[in-house]
């Protein structure tokens, strides 16, 4: 199966990787950006697919802009991967976070409903919606958002469910747990850790890495596998929501230890935990149960945390990474 896809948020990690995934399967791919003329689309260029993607200027929080780009591109699939994506930043910019996630999602849903076309819609939900997970969260686990970002993602999730139930749209959410790649922005903790370890190993950095709570647990996956799950969700016979996760949670301290070991370093000599970097409300344990995705989509994560760290380390500094130390 191939067709035409429109990706909101195509310049980000997930959008770029999804574009490559779809192109490799014969899809025509369009991408939406607030200002396509000024956006350099560095991730698309890095992946070698910039010339294969048609980009359009469209602001997701402007309804007219959204409906025009959907009408112009006539997509079979629409993926909503945009919005303010930093949990930490959402505490400082709650209104921007809410608008870029909730209003944008509603504009896309309403555009699809108004145009009355047979479009399948994917919405990027988040494991942050669950809050702390005492047991691995699945599709029936209640939401308990603990940040403005998580509140916005939860509201968008229920908007998708409402449009699916009320109007019969093929609209589904993927509740993705943490997923990494070298395309992650530098502000994310995984990139901070990898880059600090690489710089210390290269002797271009002497100061220690200061992080927040090292005892938080996260379910880390490989982003290239997760965009495959997005595509499978829209190819499924009926619109359903899916948890996308590895099913295995690890402490941040273990990630840090693996990252520094990849460069032949002992993390305890280079990392400090400080309350200054702790969020007003944080999640202690985040763990997902991907059984439904495996059962109905045939999808299962293959890459786990140690291998993720090894790949990130090699991408950050191939000449320095000590892969055999992994």
Q: Are residues 117 and 162 in the same domain?
A: yes
Q: For residue 192, what is the domain's CATH number?
A: 3.90.25.10
Task: For the beta carbon of residue 203, count every other beta carbon within 10 angstroms.
Answer: 7
Output the 3-class SS for 135-201.
CCECCCCCCCCCCHHHHHHHHHHHHHHHHHHHHCCEEEEEEECCEECCCCCCCCHHHHHHHHHHHHH
Residue 295: inside a domain = no
Tokens for 110? 């309403």
* 226 is known as an active-site residue: no
The active-site residue out of 128, 180, 228, 258 is 128
* 324 is known as an active-site residue: no
Residue range of the domain that includes 262:
185-219+248-286+304-325
Beta-strand ranges (E) seen in the chain are: 4-8, 28-33, 54-57, 77-80, 120-126, 170-176, 179-180, 209-211, 217-218, 221-222, 242-244, 250-251, 271-273
* 52 is known as an active-site residue: no
Residue 296: inside a domain = no
Q: For residue 149, what is the domain's CATH number?
A: 3.40.50.720
Which of 193, 187, 233 is closest to 86 using CA atoms? Answer: 187
Q: Cα(first)–Cα(last) distance of the chain, in Å? A: 39
Q: Are residues 206 and 73 in the same domain?
A: no
- pLDDT tens, per residue, the chain with 326 residues: 789 999 999 999 999 999 999 999 999 999 999 888 888 999 999 999 999 999 999 999 999 999 999 999 999 999 999 988 888 888 889 999 999 999 999 999 999 999 999 999 999 999 999 999 989 999 999 999 999 999 999 999 999 999 999 999 999 999 999 999 999 998 899 999 999 999 999 999 999 999 999 999 999 999 999 999 999 999 999 999 999 999 999 999 999 999 999 999 999 999 999 877 666 768 999 999 999 999 999 999 999 999 999 999 999 998 888 754 44
The active-site residue out of 122, 149, 163, 226 is 149
Tokens for 180? 């990494």
Q: What is the CA 42 to chain-centroid distance, rounded?
A: 17
The active-site residue out of 100, 111, 126, 181 is 126
């Amino acid at each position: 199966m191939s067709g035409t896809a429109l990706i909101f948020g195509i310049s980000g990690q997930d959008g770029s990787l999804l574009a490559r995934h779809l192109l490799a399967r014969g899809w025509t791919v369009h991408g939406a950006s607030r200002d396509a003329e000024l956006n350099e689309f560095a991730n698309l260029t890095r992946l070698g697919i910039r010339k294969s993607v048609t980009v359009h200027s469209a602001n997701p929080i402007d309804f007219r802009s959204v409906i025009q780009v959907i009408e112009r591109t006539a997509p079979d699939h629409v993926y909503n991967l945009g919005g303010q994506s930093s949990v930490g930043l959402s505490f400082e910019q709650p209104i921007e976070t809410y608008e870029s996630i909730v209003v944008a999602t509603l504009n896309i849903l309403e555009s699809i409903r108004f145009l009355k076309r047979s479009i399948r819609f994917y919405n990027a939900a988040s494991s942050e919606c669950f809050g702390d997970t005492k047991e691995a969260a699945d599709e029936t686990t209640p939401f308990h958002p603990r940040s403005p970002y998580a509140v916005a993602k939860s509201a968008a999730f229920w908007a998708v469910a409402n449009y699916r139930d009320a109007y019969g749209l093929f609209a589904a959410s993927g509740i993705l747990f943490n997923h990494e790649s070298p395309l992650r922005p530098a502000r994310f903790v995984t990139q901070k850790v990898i880059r600090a370890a690489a710089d210390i190993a290269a002797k271009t950095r002497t100061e220690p890495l200061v992080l927040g709570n090292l005892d938080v647990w996260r379910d880390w996956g490989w982003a290239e596998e997760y965009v495959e799950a997005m595509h499978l969700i829209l190819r499924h016979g009926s619109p359903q929501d899916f948890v996308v996760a590895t099913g295995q949670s690890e402490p941040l301290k273990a990630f840090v230890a693996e990252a520094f070991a990849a460069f032949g370093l002992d993390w305890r000599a280079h990392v400090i935990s400080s309350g200054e970097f702790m969020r007003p409300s944080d999640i202690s344990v985040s763990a997902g149960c991907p059984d439904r995705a495996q059962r109905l989509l045939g999808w299962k994560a293959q890459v786990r945390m140690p291998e993720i760290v090894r790949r990130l380390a090699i991408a950050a500094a191939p000449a320095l990474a000590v892969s055999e130390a992994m």
